Structure 1
Amino acid sequence: MVHPVAVAGFLMAVLPLIATPGASLTLLVQHVTEGGRRRALPVALGTVTGLYVHAALAVAGLSTLVMRSGVAFTTVKLIGAAYLIGLGLWTWRTAAPTPRRSRTRSTDSVYAQALLANVLNPKAAAIYLTLVPQFVTPRHPLPAQILTLATAHALLITLWLTAWTLLLARATRALRGPRFKRMAARATSAVLIALGVRAVVA
């Protein structure tokens, strides 16, 4: 088991990373603005699933291989960047008004977007390779300790996204209308593209 003090220290270490705007928050803004609070759940579930994927890879040692191999790390980074840029361009295109037909997006699609945005982010994997080792001890089974820290991480990011959901839902009610939603979608697409470009040049 991980000592509660170690869990608290880990959460304090990852909080600034969670608070930094990234793909998960950008997707949340897009989908909550477009479809209301119910769209927040698949975004949060996709993000949390991605965290557990990284935790599982860390346990298996696969993430270590990616981080130690320059070619593997660059490949993952470029795939993730291409996904974010492609998602941003697609979001921009679908922001145009579509008369006579309302755009609906399935929960599975939103979940998949959030999952891929997290899994293809090598910085998310780095959390479990740089921060996690500082809060575990070899005297106890590592899988259980990493799972505990990943669960705490998942709860914290869920709370963060929930707080943003409440703020966004209130703002959306105050600014109803297709023009606001179109502007929000295009702003979201610009952020996604910027995140992808940053990942390439970083």
Structure 2
Amino acid sequence: MVHPYAVAGFLVALLPLIATPGASLALLVRQVTEGGRGRAVPVILGTATGLYVHAALAMAGLSALVMHSSQAFTAVRLAGAAYLVGLGIWTWRSATSPAPSRRHRRLPELSGSAYLQALLANVLNPKAASIYLTLMPQFITPGESLVGQILTLATAHALLIALWLLGWTILVGRAAHALRGARFKNIGARVTAVVLIALGVRSATA
């Protein structure tokens, strides 16, 4: 069982990392500006699922293998960078494409699942994996159940990032309501695309 003080310390240490804009926030902004606050739910769920994937990999020792092998770490980093750049290009093209007819309006939604996008963006982020291999061990008590402690801390992490994204959902939702229109949605999509591509390039060159 993780001591409450350890959970609190873990969350405080996470705050600067969560507050740094990343792919999850960029995806959330696009979804909310295009479809309203309800579209934030799959982004938040996908991000939280990604955290549990990292927790499971840490428990299995696979994350440790990636973090201690320069080749494996580089491969994961480049895969994540390529995904973000590709997602950014797709987002930009979807913003500049003409509006689809009613008959084909569902196709982009099916091909670009917000949940899957958020999940992959998190899973392919080696920095997220490093949290569970470098930061989390500082708050684990030796001799106690490792699985239980990791799951508890991962749940606390997921709840904190969910609250952070929900706060942004409210802000972006209000802005989208005040500036409703296709032009605002296109601008939001293009900004999201630029952020995703910049994050991908930064990850590839880090």
CA deviation after TM superposition for structure 1 residue 108, in Å: 7.7
Aligned partners of 1:165, 1:106: CA distance in 2, in Å?
Answer: 22
Match for residue 134 of structure 2 among 122, 130, 133? 130
For 1:40 and 1:175, locate their aligned partners in 2 and report how far apart those are by CA, in whole Å.
Answer: 18
- Alpha-carbon shift at residue 98 of structure 1 (Å): 2.2
Output the aligned Cα RMSD. Answer: 1.3
**1:138 Cα offset (Å):** 1.6
Could you tell me whether the CA contact under 8 Å between 1:91 and 1:185 is conserved in 2?
yes
For residues 127-166 of structure 1, the C-alpha deviation after alignment (integer angstroms, 9 at most, x for no partner) is 0001110000121011100000000000000000101001
Distance change >3 Å, CA 69–CA 172, structure 1 → 2: same
Secondary structure of 1:191's match? helix
Percent same amino acid among aligned pairs? 70
Q: Does 1:174 align with 2:178?
A: yes
TM-score normalized by the length of structure 1 = 0.97
Partner of 2:53: 53
Counterpart secondary structure, 1:95: helix
The answer on whether the counterparts of 1:76 and 1:121 sit within 8 Å (CA) in structure 2 is yes
So what's the TM-score if we normalise by structure 2?
0.95
Q: How does 1:35-50 map to 2 (within 5 A)?
A: 35-50=35-50
Please name the residue that 1:29 is paired with: 29
Equivalent runs, 1:144-163 vs 2, <5 Å: 144-163=148-167
Which SS does the other structure have where 2:96 is aligned?
coil
Task: Return closer, same or farther for 1:38/1:108 CA change in 2, 3 Å cut-off.
Answer: farther
Q: Distance in 2 between matches of 1:196 and 1:131?
A: 23
Which runs of 5 or more residues in structure 1 are unaligned? none
Partner of 2:79: 79
Distance (Å, rounded) in 2 between the aligned partners of 1:25 and 1:176: 20
1:197 aligned residue (182, 195, 201): 201
